[in-house]
Amino acid sequence: MQEPFADSRTFWGKRRYLLLMIISLSIAFSLVIISMSLYIRSGTIQLDLSRPGYQRVSNQTDPDNISIGSYSSTGTLDEESIKTFEEVLNTQIKKAKSIDAFGGDPLDPNELNFYQ
Partner 1 sequence: MSIQNKYLIGIFITALALSFGFNSAYAQKTVLTPDQASSIIANCTPIKNRLDQLHVNDALLRVNRGQLYETVYSKLILQFNKRAQSNNYDISMLQMTTEKFSAQLENFRKDYRAYEQQLDETIKQGCSNGAQSFVDNIDTAREYRNKVYEDIKQLNSTLDEYSTNFMNIKSIILGKQ
Contacts to partner 1 by CB under 8 A: 43, 46-47, 49, 53-54, 56-57, 60-62, 65-66, 68-79, 81-82, 85-86, 88-90, 92-93, 95-97, 101-103, 105-109, 112-116
| Structural contact between residues 109 and 115, judged by C-beta atoms closer than 8 angstroms | yes
Nearer to partner 1, 23 or 111 (CB): 111
> Least distance from C-beta 38 to partner 1, angstroms?
14
What span, in angstroms and rounded, lies between the C-alpha atoms of 89 and 69?
12
Nearer to partner 1, 9 or 97 (CB): 97
What span, in angstroms and rounded, lies between the C-alpha atoms of 39 and 48?
10
Amino acid, res. 113: N
